[in-house]
Structure 1
Amino acid sequence: MTLKLGVLALLKAKPGSENELAAFLEGGSKIVADEPATRTWYAFQIDDHTYGIFDTFEDEASRQEHLNGKIPAALSKVGDSLLADAPDIRLTTILATKNDSY
């Protein structure tokens, strides 16, 4: 498996909606479980108001499938109530990886 591409989404919670956004992100792992082409998926918190998602893919078709899939659709439904700003979505190219088995 060669992971070549990624998506980084940075999300800023509206004041008072931090816990709801965190819960939404925690539930996201169930949604992407049905996306075999999404090789890794991480939801994380940076500070009190800033959260993120990082996913990895083997090819552009897989990345586009994800970008047109259930997570972005679900985020668009709750975005107005949970997010202070539009998500900052960045397409990334993976230069190197280290993968240890857990």
Structure 2
Amino acid sequence: MRKPRDFDAELRALSEKAAQLKTRKVQQFGELVIATGADTLSIEELTGALVTIAATNDPQKREAWARKGEAFFQGKARKGGKRTQGDAQCGAKDPDSDPAH
């Protein structure tokens, strides 16, 4: 005879796994904020930037941001330290970073 499945134990294991994944996601997000230098921004600035990005429906802007992100992860945007060259210019001449558009 087959042993019946313990659905409660499986559900507990899945819940624990989900909690671990959520914790890891939050930790990795924090590491990303630090690696990009965004930890120097106020919480209001960072929140405003994220809200603007989330509300943007312009596919060209999103693609440009995706390319910048990909370059960062490939190490092309990193030049001697945590900050990128774009951060040194404060994004003033970069239309993709302008939250008003």
TM-score (norm 2): 0.29
Structure showing greater radius of gyration is 2
Q: Which has the higher strand share?
A: 1
Structure with more contact order per residue of length (Cα contacts < 8 Å, sep ≥ 6)? 1
